[in-house]
Amino acid sequence: MPVNETFATYSDWLYRSALGVYLFAILLYAVEQAFARAPRKALVGAGGPDVLVDEPKSELTKSERIGRMGAAMTVLGAVLHLGSLVMRGLSAGRAPWGNMYEYMSLLCLAAVVTWIVLMAKFPIRRLGVFVLPPILTLLFLGGTVLYAESAPVQPALRSYWLVIHVSVISISSGVLLIPGVTSILYLLKDTKSDRFPKLPSADVLDRMSYRTTVLAFPLFTAGIILGAIWAEAAWGRFWGWDPKETVAFVSWVVYAAYLHARATAGWRGRGAAWINIAGFALNVFNLFFINLVTSGLHSYAGL
């Protein structure tokens, strides 16, 4: 099928537009983070010991309005980002995740959508200044170092498993980027000193990391299993300890260990956060080093 160059051009324009909008959103989050006041507490006493409670919120401050603008820009960037993937798929007449550039784009979109959902669930909007920069960096590298022209995929990828396996593993990997960042912030916040008063409470960060990992882990597991089924159909074996397969399996073990640690009293807290960060590091390592440096059966992908 010939490539539709018009749709391919629109896809590139939308991708770059999304990058610009995400960057603007980061700046807005940074303004809110810089000028917002730390949560204040009020002493309440009723004949017994005084209790610290949150002060009632008044009308929105200027920094909060700017933060809401950042959230709106994030949603707009996600819409443009989704449009770039749709246009790429229409231009090539296939699922738009057949090379590293497209895979990275889908992964980052999953991370952004996860962040938008978390903002709706938790009072953590200002953390966009920490969460979006790693995503923007991945998108920038994807659009420069890893960029590939719209084209048909290689024969090995012309399978319905491309739609199933690659989408599941990419989306789950993108979702897992978020708890990696929030676990790092948890370690910064979970200290006896109050050096980072503007960060959400350690409990909120811990619950965010745990719930997001719980959501992504079954998808990640399904992605690995589906990949093994595709490998048997394509290469005649379910598992061959290819570098990407090996690191993906190690990542799975680490995330399983995190979920177990999070449910174990002795490891809950800082210990569990360190395990989650190790999974995050393996996720990024598998994304870049395995695809760009090592050679294996997963080393095609348009590079």
Tens digits of residue pLDDT in 191-226: 655 667 778 888 888 889 999 999 999 999 999 999
Residue 184 and residue 294 share a domain: yes
In a domain, 53, yes or no: no
**Domain hosting residue 183, numbered range:** 154-303
Paired tokens of 229: 């089924």
- The reply to whether 47 falls in a domain is no
- C-beta of residue 161 within 8 angstroms of C-beta of residue 230: yes
How many Cβ atoms are within 10 Å of 271's Cβ, its own excluded?
A: 13
pTM, 2 dp: 0.86
Whether residue 301 is found in the same domain as residue 182: yes
| Contact criterion met (CB below 8 Å) for 97 and 38 | no
Same domain, 193 and 248: yes
In angstroms, the CA 196 to CA 15 distance is: 34
- Are residues 211 and 139 part of one domain? no
216 belongs to a structural domain: yes
CA-wise closest residue to 251 among 232, 223, 231 = 223
What is the average pLDDT across 117-143? 91
113 and 174 housed in the same domain = no
Among 125, 152, 179, the domain-final residue is 152
Shared domain for 230 and 102, answered yes or no, is: no
Does residue 214 lie within any of the structural domains?
A: yes
State whether residue 41 is helix, strand or coil: strand
Could you tell me if 120 and 179 lie in one domain? no
For residue range 106-129, list pLDDT tens digits in order. Answer: 999 999 999 999 999 888 898 999
- Do 182 and 297 belong together in one domain? yes
In a domain, 15, yes or no: yes
Task: Verify that 163 and 301 share a domain, yes or no.
Answer: yes
Residue 227 domain-assigned (yes or no): yes
Q: Give a yes or no: residue 234 inside a domain.
A: yes
Overall number of domains in the chain: 2
Residues 31 and 144 in one domain: yes
* Cβ(209)–Cβ(273) below 8 Å: yes
Under the banding of pLDDT at 50, 70 and 90, the label for residue 54 is very low
Using alpha carbons, list the distances in angstroms from residue 253 to 33, 78, 119, 248. 35, 31, 29, 9
Please say whether the dihedral angle defined by the alpha carbons of residues 178, 66, 138 and 100, taken in this order, is positive or negative.
positive
If asked whether residues 25 and 111 sit together in one domain, one would say yes
Q: Are 2 and 93 in contact (CB under 8 A)?
A: no
Within-domain flag for 93: yes
- Considering the chain, what percentage of its residues have pLDDT values greater than 70? 83
Lowest mean pLDDT among 15-19, 119-123, 256-260, 277-281: 119-123
φ, ψ of residue 98 in degrees (nearest 5): -100, 0
Same domain, 197 and 99: no
